[in-house]
Copies of this chain bind each other. A is one copy, B any other.
Amino acid sequence: MKLRHIALALCAVATTATTATTYAQQAPKPEDQIRYRQSIMNVIGRQFGMLAGMAKGEVPYNKEAAVKAAGLVETLSTLPAPLFGPGLDKGAPTKAGAKIWTEPDKFKAALEKMQGEVKKLPAAASDPATLKVAAGDVGKTCKGCHDDYREKEFRN
């Protein structure tokens, strides 16, 4: 527990540094970009986790919340691509696989496959049956990309 507390404290320090850098409009450092990438993935994970829960019947379905989360996931899904760009393979500990940078075209295709499925989420979210199908399809692209491009352990 203590270690996690220390980790989160330092994590917050990193966040503050990121914000300060951004406001000054300096070029963000790789470690700040990696932290931003992780923040985006965290929010996507939480929001899509809720949608997947609704799709599986583990969370009560709520149309308004589902449509809002789906729209948010769709917008957020468009952000990480440049954060996997050149020079962002190193600079902070990451589980992002080295293959992302050695086979960028394949990785880009995997990201675009995810984005293609995520685009269907907002319309699908307004009905539990269509959400179930769409969330399943999105989930498969998440897993596919994680299997191929996310390492089990942190590197760097």
> Which A residues lie at the B interface, using CB under 8 A?
3-19, 22-23, 25, 31, 34-36, 38-43, 45-46, 49-50, 52-53, 58-59, 68, 71-72, 75-76, 78, 92-95, 154, 156
Contact = CB atoms under 8 A, between A and B. Distances in A.
**A8, A34, A43, A78 pick with most chain B CB within 10 angstroms:** A8
A52 B16 CA distance: 17
20 contacts: A6-B93, A7-B11, A7-B14, A8-B11, A9-B156, A10-B10, A12-B38, A12-B154, A15-B38, A15-B41, A18-B45, A18-B46, A19-B42, A23-B45, A23-B49, A25-B59, A36-B42, A39-B43, A43-B76, A72-B76
B59 A12 contact: no
A149 to B, nearest CB: 15
Which of A17, A25, A76: most chain B CB closer than 10 A? A25
Identical chains bound together, number: 2
Contacts of A23: 45, 49, 52
A12 B36 CA distance: 11
Contact of A46 (B36, B68, B95): B36
